Structure 1
Amino acid sequence: MRTQQGVTDLDGIPHNHASIVYDTHMSVDTANDLSLARIEQASRLIDPVFRNSPQFRDLTLSRRLGRDLLVKVESVNPVRSFKGRGADFCVSQLPAGRRVVCASAGNFGQAMAYAGRTHGVPVTVFAATDANPNKVARMRTLGAEVVLTGHDFDAAKAAAREHVATRPESLFVEDGEDPRIAEGAGTIGVELAAEAPDALLLPVGNGALVGGVGRWLKAHSPATRIIGVCAEGAPAMAHSWRAGRPVATDRAETMADGIAVRVPVPVAVGWMGRYMDDMLLVGEEDIPPALELVRDTLGLLLEPAGAVGVAAVLRHNPEGKKLATVLTGGNFSPELLRRLAG
């Protein structure tokens, strides 16, 4: 848990903003680990539209940051996020004749809808009533049935589980629990390994990205420090990593809806414990400058969760001569688009 300034201050979160209210007391499933062989298999089998995304160093961005930063751009594909990798790998291996049900803030739902179209699998997505309307519209355009219910992502997930419990023809797929999703995301690590960055900063939502990429890099670029990034307004995964067990919060309030997790998935907490070296937190005030910096230097419009790695560099100045981050998504809300385009 060390940073350039010492121990990461996870206790610095105002308790009236996102306090810990209960510990799930669930043991982490250490047997449900991720497979290097399946990550390698996924790197060959997943839809080519998601593979070999651009990764480069931009001189202007690095100068503005005062750091050598490599970016991997995961927003230039049909679902505008890294989620297509894991969804395609997962859906391609599901049994025929089942309807897939999942919960999503929007990006995973789009990815599952796209993969369902590709592989002929019907998909139902449960999302919160205040989900990003652009993401909801795109999920429906891609062919998913979308059910809006619950006040946040975790409430929508609970509704999805209840729905599947009474429908044996349906199969619930959970991002952060199904290893195939994390292994598909781990193909990003396959593509980054040759760069051998000193530190890689990854947004942490349900934990599939940091689990899959961390699994590959710990084997193929062991000197690379894997650093997760959470929003201060949604610190459940940060608390869970520190505690070594799932710790839920009463609220998840952040503009970065893609990482607004309130109830951690136990399996993903186990992955973080094995494959992540540090966790950094960014505040709401840190995210807009990162979005604007990426816009002005790279010409990319990202959603808030997609830029938290850059926000962490700006705020924390982490150790390492060569840094890298993944720009994980570009499914912005109409309000954010107006702000960024202005």
Structure 2
Amino acid sequence: MTNYTLQDMTNHTLWTDFILVGLFSQSQNPSLLCVVIFLVFLMALSGNALLVLLIHSNTQLHTPMYFFISQLSLMDMMYISITVPKVLLDQVLGVSTISVPECGLQMFLYVTLAGSEFFFLGAMAYDRYVAICHPLRYSVLMNRKVCLLLASWCWLLGSVDGFMLTSVTMTFPFCRSREIQHFFCEVPAVMKLSCSDTSLYETLMYLCCVLMLLIPVTVISGSYSCILLTIHRMNSAEGRRKALATCSSHMMVVTLFYGAAVYTYMLPSSYHTPQKDMVVSVFYTILTPVLNSFIYSFRNKDVTAALRKILCVRYIGISFTILFPANQ
């Protein structure tokens, strides 16, 4: 462990703020980058909000699969709202600081949502397994009570992960630099500021992340192994196509989210640089919520049909009002 003076070890108590280096420090055109991120943020919010409203308003979408998709969309809206508004506001106001309580809250919410999404993707894989491998028992095995129970456990396990990582990370003394080489308070970036030996904690965090990934990955791989075996046994080409279509969107989201998570939390520190970490974080923090909404909307016939139905009803209603205005 590196030796520090008593003054170094106590300085962290005097620091009330961290400094976020941010996305714009290395950009040649920060104003343009700010506009692009703002547009992406609006697309993510509007796309996921529209998906939630469609699923809530259309009774044909009141199925377990769409219940989990709506939860995922809600999660993505919260996910991107934790980091991007502050990044944009800081750039506009010329501020780059974040207080210790704000940093801890941001870290807790971020880790909670990320952990919950791991388990939700596992629950969605199980839902597809039941739908394809046990279609006659689907309504019984995936009834409303089971769906609510699965969703509750996903949120609970994610919050437990967020509480453990945040509470331990924020108790370390920070006496090196106030600058977080990131645009938000992510656990690995904050840990680099600690002046104490964090090797044991990093090992425990690694094992925790392995467990957090191992459980849903086991469910996902087991579910899709059974699904592929069932599809292989199908005699109907149309049936195989429909079964694969219902799983393809989910697998795309799993690949995007888990790939970034493995890089951030499971690869050794020798593979990491601040620039690489920031690029990967931009991908799964800002871009993934946008991609998820597009994957589950434009690639889904039921969702696009529900959207066309609503637009058609609105169009007819507006046209009728124009042609036959109410008597004044």
**TM-score normalised by length of structure 2:** 0.25
More helix, by proportion = 2
**TM-score normalised by length of structure 1:** 0.24
Larger relative contact order, structure 1 or 2 (CA cutoff 8 Å, min sep 6): 2
More strand, by proportion = 1
Query: Which has the higher Rg, Structure 1 or Structure 2?
Result: 2
